[in-house]
Amino acid sequence: MTRVVLRRLVSGVRVSRIEAICAGASDARALRLDLLGEIRRAVPFTWYAWLLTDPGTGVGCAPLADVPAVPELPALIRLKYQTTVNRWTDLTTPVARLSDIGDPRRSLVWREMRTPVRFVRAKSATWPSSPPR
């Protein structure tokens, strides 16, 4: 993540608001929707797919997504598991941009999903409670 993006995120997201959202969440889906709203105020985005991830195995479940091609979502999730580029279990930083890898064609997600979904930029983010074993 570039320092500019990080500064923008940190300065735009109100920690007290995030804490209040986390404390008042009734379930995982409501928590994520409320957090997405707060994050979107600081870092605008168009689409998202947010999986809950088992911290022991790195296996995702309970997807929450707003994507332009819902029928393509299972394929997108499959490709995220299969790719070695910006895979959430291997990130060394909280956010990884596809543009950081040089040639985006190294990413299965880019190669296979770019045409049906027509995205130009992609980011992967992770906030693990502990790293997968």
Q: Write the pLDDT tens digit of every residue in 91-126.
A: 777 777 777 777 878 888 878 876 555 555 555 555
* H or E stretch at 53: strand 48-53
Of the candidates 71, 84, 74, 76, the residue with the CA atom closest to the CA atom of residue 119? 76
Q: Note the pLDDT of residue 101.
A: 77
Which residues are registered as beta bridge partners of 48?
66
Residue 1's pLDDT is 45
Residue 84 CA to residue 38 CA, distance in Å, equals: 30
Return the CA Rg of the chain: 15
Residue 11 has pLDDT above 70, yes or no: no
Q: Please choose, from the candidates 126, 128, 123, 98, the residue with its C-alpha nearest in 3D space to the C-alpha of residue 43.
A: 123
| pLDDT for residue 59 is more than 80 | yes
pLDDT score of 129: 54
